[in-house]
Each structure stands twice: as C-alpha cells, then as structure tokens.
Structure 1
Amino acid sequence: MSAAADTDPEVLVVGAGPVGLCTAIELARRGVRVRVVDRRAEPRQGTRACTVWQRTLEVFDLMGLPVGDYLGSGVTYTHRTHHFAGAEPLVRPAAQPGTPYPNPLLIGQSQTEALLTRHLAGLGVRVERGLTAVAVEQGPARVTVRLAAADGGVHTVRAGWVVGAQGPHSTVRDEIGAGWDKTPYPGTQLLQIDARWTGSLPGDPAHCHLFLTEAGSLGTAPLPDGRHRFYAGVADPDPSRTGDPDVAEVLDAVRRVSGVSDLRFHDGRFNWRVRLYNAVAGTYRVGRCLLAGDSAHTVMPVTAQGMNTGVQDAFNLGWKLAAVVQGRASARLLDSYEAERRPIALALAARNQRTYWGGVGPVPPFELLRSRLTEDAGAGHTGLTLAYPDSPLSGGTSVAAGVPGPGARVPDATPYGTGDRLFRLLGRGDWTVLAFPEDPADPASADLAAKEAGAGARRAGVPVHVVTATGREGLADPQGTLRAALGAEAGALLLVRPDGYVAFRGAAYDGAALDRHMAAILA
C-alpha cells in the first residue's frame, strides 16, 4: 500500500508547493509513511519563484533529483548587471566556485513543482488535491486534522506529526497559535509581469538586470520561454486599489524607473501586484506540529530568497523528523530545527527591509551602494555560505576561514580519485564520519584514524569512511582532492549530518571528543 493510501500516516504534510513536496520527499525516502494534501484541485500555474540558487541545486542533487534534466529545462543565470542612476553599469558574474552548480538557474516555479511531484510519486506518494485543512487538534500521541473536500465532505486524518507548508495563510500555524509577527512596508508596491519586449532597454538581454533610480527599483530576468520577468518597486499612490495590475500600469512603472520611453511589452502574462511585508512565526514548532517555508516566514519577494529558504527548511527538517518518527532520536532533536532555521528567516527579513528601494522615502546613496558591490564576492544570495556554527548539533574545533568547520556546509569534491563524488556518498541521507589520517599514504596512520573514529561511531550506528591515498581502507583520494576541499591536509575527523553540514570537526586523534559529541546529539 502506498503512503498516500494510508489514512493515518506517520506524518501529514499540508501544502504541496516546493516546500511541502521537499519535506515529503525527505521523509518518504527514509521510509516514513507520509501523506501530502493541498487545497488546490490542480497545481498552481505561473513562474512565481523563478530563481533557483546554487545551494538549492545542491540540495536537489543530494535529494536524488535528476538535476541535469532540470538544468536543461531552464536558463542559466550568468551575470547580474547593476544600473545606478548617474553611474556606469556594473556587470558581475553570477558563478561561484566550490560547487558542481556554479550558476543559479532561472525556471518557472510550476516546473520545479512538477519535478518534485514526479520524484515524490516515484517514492510511492501522490499529492491528494482539493483538501483544505480547517481544524487541527493535538493529543499526546496524535494530531487530528479535519480536511474539507471540494464536494463539501469532511475527512478526518489522525497523524503522528503535522508539517504546515501552506504558504502565508496557514491554517496549521493559526490553529496551533504559533504567532505571526508581521511588519508591513507601507507606501510602496511591487508590480510584476512576464513579457516579451522591444525597445532600447540597456544591457545584454541574456543578463539579469537591476535598475536603481529615484523613481524606484526595477529587476529583469530572462525566462525559458523567451519572455523576461520584469518586477518594479515603485510608490503606491492608492493602497486601496486591489487586484492585479493591467499591462499598461506595469509598463508605466517600468518606463519610469528605467527611463526608457520606447519600451513595449508583448504577450504579457502573470501580471501581479504585491503589497510588501515581512513576517516570521513566533515559533516553528508547537507539540507535534511544525511549520516550514512561507507558513513559517514570509519575506518581501525582492531578493528571490523565499522559495530557496523554504527548500532549505524542508531539507533541514525532513531528516530530523524522520529520525524522531522512527525512534532513532528523541523529539529533542527537533529543537535544533527552529534554532537553526528561524534566525535565518529573521536575518533575511531584516536584510530585505534594509536594502529594498521602492521609490518612497530618502533616496539611497547610489554611488556608495555601487562601491560596496565592487568589493562583494556576491556569495550571499547563493546559500553556499549558510552555516549553523551556534547550533546545538555543532561541536568540535573551530578552523580557519575557508575551511568547513562545525556547522558549515560540506562542499562536493569530484573526483576524489576514482571519479566518484562526495555528494553521492552524502546523498544517501545518513550520518557519516569522514576520517582523514595524518599521513594518507601510511597504513598505520590510517589504522589509527579508523580506531579513533570507530568506537563512538559503532555505538551510534554511524558508518566511518577512512580517506587514504590508495582507498584500501575506505575512500581513495590519491590526488588529495577531498583532503584539500575539506581542509584536512593535516588529518581530521568530521561527523557530517544527513543534510551535508558538519556536526563535529576535530583532529585525527580526537576520537574521544567525537564519541562524546555523538553521544550527546544522537541520544
């Protein structure tokens, strides 16, 4: 019987957008019985969140998705050109080193959801549509959720756990009283359209562009179907005006910000008006109910981070919840989900509020902004630098900048001698110990590293992979590629979490400290 056919699942995921789908995939691939319901009778159409950053592509890879096919369906995000009023344009490459996916991808959200839905179906779980969560009641061992069907019927589901991934208007969040701290950004609005265009808009049309002028801000991005996304942050003269804007209103805003009077739109679609606000839930967990994605945090859609942040929520939560459901960890492990992910949302909301320009208030110092960009490597948006050094799961020895220490993302390394990739090992979704001997060519050194790593790992049921020059004792790394990527030239012990972040780092002889850390966090 498929998980979708089980009326009383171990986990009920409410919402089948990218975040709900990713959560369900992470649970289902670990053997958790999961159901996914969504209020919409059909998947929502439109490009919506169309920028997929580098770390999100890595996450999809680690989840086992066919990322190569996905890349082939989108547009490679190669450059960002900044246009500041009164200054020369600044062209910056979007590529980042140290990842198998150096460039972001531009692709419609409906295509992302289709990819995830197919993969979830391959795991035996199909989205159940036309079901709206209307009530949530928690008990000591189960959560009772009432689902209203489109035909007027009401279904009752009793799940061990519930994940609310419905978006900003979340029944689960409201029912469990998680709070919703909402900060509006009055006086401005975001007007958006996907359209083909003609005119003298400056710059390479294959690039993404950002214009900042006194009238407001304007972003553009090429899309797979030949259209471009245009999104303009401008003053909002009539806040009572509701409904999506017509083409003429969006075109007028784009012309005013860009100063290009001969611009024309053709074949426009998905016109959209957004009154901007940031909101973060007061807590991400109440009892057996958890929140992820826009149900946990809704941020102004001006830096293309909302969906990407939600996917990282799902990737963070899925393995933790699976471990608790299957009795491999206590519910205390779930405390680390909010501890790690809520500060990320708060920081993103603060950054968006601080940096957004929508033609209202004091005009930003454009020259200063431009000069700061010339000194910035541009990695902040990518998700690659995200880390959890202060997490209750992180421990061990701090390291120099550029070396993955406690809480840091583990980079892929390919090849590490055999043509394999580290992500293929980590993508199994288990805890992993990587043991680097002080001398990778010395069997005695390898034996010592294996012994140091082994005792605690065996008790915790965590596999140990000893990395040597020959691979006789574990992983072959004859060129030292993996040692260099992880900064382990002098030897190291790394405990890697199921989501690919370092939980512990120590020297090759720090087995006792590794043992203590595993005992503390895997109990």
Structure 2
Amino acid sequence: MSTAADTDPEVLVVGAGPVGLCTAIELTRRGVRVRIVDRRTEPRQGTRACTVWQRTLEVFDLMGLPVGDYLDSGVAYTHRTHHFADLPPLVRPADQTGTPYPRPLLIGQSQTEAMLTRHLAGLGVRVERGLTAVAVEQGPARVTVRLADADGSVRTVRAGWVVGAQGPHSTVRDEIGAGWEKKPCPGTQLLQIDARWTGSLPGDPAHCHLFLSEAGSLGTAPLPDGRHRFYAGVADPDPARTGDPDVAEVLDAVRRVSGGSDLDFHDGRFNWRVRLYNAVAGTYRVGRCLLAGDSAHTVMPVTAQGMNTGVQDAFNLGWKLAAVVQGRASARLLDSYEAERRPIALALAERNQRTYWGGAGPVPPFELLHSRLTDAGAGHTGLPLAYQDSPLSAGTAPAAGAPGPGSRVPDVAAQGGTDRLFGLLGQGDWTLLAFPEDSADPAAADIAVKEATAGARRAGVPVHLVTAAGRDSLPDASGTLRTALGAEDGALLLVRPDGYVAFRGGVHDGAALDRHLAMVLA
C-alpha cells in the first residue's frame, strides 16, 4: 500500500481532524492523488465534539463509511430536556423523519477520527504525522508548502492544490491572507468535564439536558463509556486566568446553574476551559488554496455545530475540487464552495452570539424562550440546509414538500425497501433521475429518456429512468420515489454528487438541463 509520502500530490490536505480526513476521503475515492499531514505526532485524544447530527450521519453514509458499526460504538441521542429557571421542564424528542438516521449520535471525536482514519487507510492513504506547515507560496500551477518535521528539519511539498483544515490556528489561512476577525463573547467562559456523577439532577439521565438560570447555562450529555459531558457557561471573574480548570471549579459552576447542591463528580477527565468567540475567514479560497472547517470558521462550541459544519464543508468541497483537478470542470466551480458554505458559517456565528447565555449581561427572558421551544425547528440537525441561491441551483420549484433546486434529496426505499436512493447517490457522481409523465407508459418513458439523454450526454452524467416496471432502470412499482420527489407529473431531477438538487425541470426540459450542465461544468 502506497502512502504517497515524499511525492508531490495533486492535493495536499493540511490537518487530519475530522474535516481534513473527510476531505482526503472524498478526493481519494474519486481518484485524486492526495497527501494529508498533521502537526501532531499522535492522534489527539478526548471526546471534544461528541454530537453527530442526522445530516452528518447521512454524509458519512454517502461517503461509503461503516455507519452501522459507528452507530454501535456510540449512544443514541434520544431526547433533549430543557430546564428554564423555575419553569416546568420541557422534554423534546430528538427524532426526525425522512432520514435513515432519525436520531443524532453521541460519540467521542477521537472515535470519529479513528473511523475516518481507518477508512482513508483502506483507500491507500495514511496520515503523515509530526509535520507542521510553516510556509505557503503560490505559483501559477503549483503551491509550494514547507513542512517542518518534529526534529526541526524542513521538507518541501509542491502540490497542485492545498486545503487548510488545521483548526482555528491555521498557517495556511494566515499565509494566504484570507482574513480572520474574532468576535469575542466577553465576561463569560465555558467550563467542561467528562465525569461520572452522583447526587440529584432532574430528569432522565439518558437524555441530554439544558439548564438556564441566572447563573448561566449548563448542558449535559451521556457518553458511550458511562460518563456524562457537563459544559457550563458562566461568568468569568478573571479573564487573565489560563489553564484548564480543576474538578472543583467545574463542579461549582455546574451546581450553581443547575441548583444541584448535592451533585458530585467522580472519575473525571478532559477538564477544559475556553474563552468564547466566533470568527469566519474573509474568504474561503485564495488561488489554489482553500479553507475548510475551523480554519474557515470557528464558532462557539455551545450548539454542537462546529465539527458537523466542517464535515459538510469537506463533503461540499471534495467533489468540486476533484472535478477541477481532473479537468472535468473549470476552477470556476470552486467559487460555489464559498458561495454556499460561508453564509452558513456567518449565520451560525450570528445565531450563537445572539442566543448564548453565559451568566454575564442582561438576564434572558426565560419565560419567552421557554414558550418558543415548541416551535423550534430542526435546523440544528443539518437536514433542512439548502443552497437555493447557489449558482449551481436552477430550474422550477416543485410542489410543497418536494425537493427543489438546492435542496437535499431524502433517502427513499423503493421496491419494498430493498433499493435505497442513497445507494445510488453514494457512488459519488452526478445522478440524473428521469420520471416519465406516465410511469406505466413505454412511449412516455421513451420521451423522458430522450430528453434526459440530450441534456446529460455531453457532460457524461448517467441517466436513471424511473418507471413502474423498472424497464432497464430503477423500479418504482409502488410510486414511492415518484411521490417522495414530487414527480407525479413527470420530472427531470439532476442531483449533485453531494446529494443536493442542481436542476429540476419538467420531462420536456432537456435543453434547459443541457444549458445548466454546460454552465456548471464549463
């Protein structure tokens, strides 16, 4: 098995956390020569980002990862119980419909990284550790990166492209001048620990809990090893104090917010203190260098969105960069990466800044917040995320409830549940679904095939005819696919490699489809 070490790759990925690993997997499985380096000599330990939302699980599925084994290694996130000051607790189920992964997963980040690392190694690429990027210089056709070894020696790598996924402290971002403006949350701090506990806390310990009181906020979550994650946002009396908190300091904060005066911790580990801030890079791309994950956006770790957002960055970027590297699209395709992903990071940072309560400043209106919980949507799951305003999205809007341009395609089981749509999309390429106006009429099927083929031939996009009989294509005798995708009257549905609709039109819109593909892949 080749490690690609000491060779000049088509893409160099700097940083081997979840985002860098996902980027490397997406590129490698599409045939791109990749090297991935990380400054740490060993994988970083700790649970850190331990909540994996539903869309991230879908992404892992579409990437071909062993999601079943991964789920077995974690704890299902079943409910969230909210405790607002003196108001009655409100229990909300975490389940979401329309996905093969209705519940989020609670699992340590080190386990996520181990799963991704094993999968990448199975594709023939191993992480090169103990290498720190110290300088980046761009040329017209290559990027020269100087890597410092653990012993102080320096080696040079010349890559066609570089993806910086190092985290908040990004050499790649600084070297390319992408900009980085921090917006701190003064007067507050986040204290965290993974521990076993005794004493009295209200509610089911198998649930995730959120407490809000005048003292601040507190979240809890069960972990696979029997410990619980406790993370408390409280006032920061001494901003000059550095270093991780001891158990007593975290316990005091947890007791003050929750009111659990008899609470005690045992077997604690991974004590952590962080001063909170949000930051988003001014641009995600400069020339042949791109940013992803915390190198592109660092958001306060209070809504469990950082890693999940970064994984979606990687999933969005991987297929686009592969197409450019392999000459199947111009570099203009990469403009859509920032256009789609940066607004999401900006919105997340703004929402965190607006809604976070950490015991400093005006006390929030707890009764109002409590009353709004029943109307809270599923945005945190990642499932509703869409790219309607993307330059890659075109066509007509469907009936309510069906995926339109820029929307995520749901997984659908046809033919009695034996064939999943994700099984088709997971091959990692563009997919064109052609629905005849009458799924049982051979003449209508011929028209749909002709229109779809005319639109997709030049771009080399495979066409999948969907009919009741499954003639030479996808069987949909029950009409499950047709109904779920809103194609009862016929449709052409072009699905991007990352599972979002790029074009939606009627069955006679082959010419419009052809024009859109020519623009996207030019």
Structure 2 length normalisation: TM-score?
0.99
Q: SS of the residue aligned with 1:381?
A: helix
> Is 1:432 paired with 2:431?
yes
> Is 1:176 paired with 2:176?
yes
Give the Å deviation of 1:48. Answer: 0.1
Identify the residue that residue 15 of structure 1 maps to in structure 2.
15
Moved more, 470-479 or 224-233: 470-479
Give the Å deviation of 1:57. Answer: 0.2
Give the Å deviation of 1:370. Answer: 1.1
Moved more, 488-497 or 387-396: 488-497
Give the Å deviation of 1:401. Answer: 3.4
Give the Å deviation of 1:400. Answer: 3.6
Identify the residue that residue 453 of structure 2 maps to in structure 1.
454
Alpha-carbon distance change, 3 to 334 in structure 1, aligned in 2, over 3 angstroms: farther
Identify the residue that residue 471 of structure 1 maps to in structure 2.
470
- The percent identity for this pair of structures is 88
Give the Å deviation of 1:367. Answer: 1.0
Give the Å deviation of 1:415. Answer: 3.2
Do the aligned residues in 2 keep the contact of 1:4 with 1:128 (CA within 8 Å)?
no
Letter in 2 for 1:57: L
CA distance in structure 2 between the aligned counterparts of 1:486 and 1:215, rounded to whole angstroms: 48
Do the aligned residues in 1 keep the contact of 2:96 with 2:102 (CA within 8 Å)?
yes
Deviations 1:151-180 (A, max 9, x none): 111110000000000000000000000000
Deviations 1:448-491 (A, max 9, x none): 11111111211110000010011014100111111121111121
Do the aligned residues in 2 keep the contact of 1:3 with 1:9 (CA within 8 Å)?
no
CA distance in structure 2 between the aligned counterparts of 1:319 and 1:375, rounded to whole angstroms: 36
CA distance in structure 2 between the aligned counterparts of 1:441 and 1:16, rounded to whole angstroms: 50
Q: SS of the residue aligned with 1:30?
A: coil
CA distance in structure 1 between the aligned counterparts of 2:193 and 2:415, rounded to whole angstroms: 45
- Structure 1, unmatched stretches of 5+, are none
Identify the residue that residue 200 of structure 1 maps to in structure 2.
200
Letter in 1 for 2:285: R
Do the aligned residues in 1 keep the contact of 2:402 with 2:485 (CA within 8 Å)?
yes
Give the Å deviation of 1:308. Answer: 0.2
CA distance in structure 1 between the aligned counterparts of 2:501 and 2:415, rounded to whole angstroms: 19
Identify the residue that residue 419 of structure 1 maps to in structure 2.
418
Deviations 1:474-518 (A, max 9, x none): 100111111121111121111100000000001112111111111
Identify the residue that residue 405 of structure 1 maps to in structure 2.
404
Matches within 5 A, 1:369-388: 369-376=369-376, 378-388=377-387
Letter in 2 for 1:158: R
Letter in 1 for 2:72: G
CA distance in structure 2 between the aligned counterparts of 1:4 and 1:74, rounded to whole angstroms: 32
Identify the residue that residue 68 of structure 1 maps to in structure 2.
68
Q: SS of the residue aligned with 1:313?
A: helix
Letter in 2 for 1:409: R
Identify the residue that residue 255 of structure 2 maps to in structure 1.
255
> Is 1:34 paired with 2:38?
no
Matches within 5 A, 1:90-489: 90-376=90-376, 378-417=377-416, 419-489=418-488
Moved more, 308-317 or 483-492: 483-492
Do the aligned residues in 1 keep the contact of 2:192 with 2:231 (CA within 8 Å)?
yes
Letter in 2 for 1:428: Q
CA distance in structure 1 between the aligned counterparts of 2:506 and 2:474, rounded to whole angstroms: 18
- Structure 2, unmatched stretches of 5+, are none
CA distance in structure 2 between the aligned counterparts of 1:467 and 1:82, rounded to whole angstroms: 45
Alpha-carbon distance change, 505 to 218 in structure 1, aligned in 2, over 3 angstroms: same
CA distance in structure 1 between the aligned counterparts of 2:448 and 2:166, rounded to whole angstroms: 47
Moved more, 247-256 or 467-476: 467-476
CA distance in structure 1 between the aligned counterparts of 2:233 and 2:84, rounded to whole angstroms: 15
Structure 1 length normalisation: TM-score?
0.99
Count of residues in Structure 1 that have an aligned counterpart in Structure 2: 522
Letter in 2 for 1:386: L
Task: Spell out structure 1 runs of 4+ moving beyond 3 A.
Answer: 415-418
Letter in 2 for 1:59: V
CA distance in structure 1 between the aligned counterparts of 2:428 and 2:226, rounded to whole angstroms: 37
Alpha-carbon distance change, 177 to 122 in structure 1, aligned in 2, over 3 angstroms: same
Deviations 1:16-39 (A, max 9, x none): 000000000000000000000000
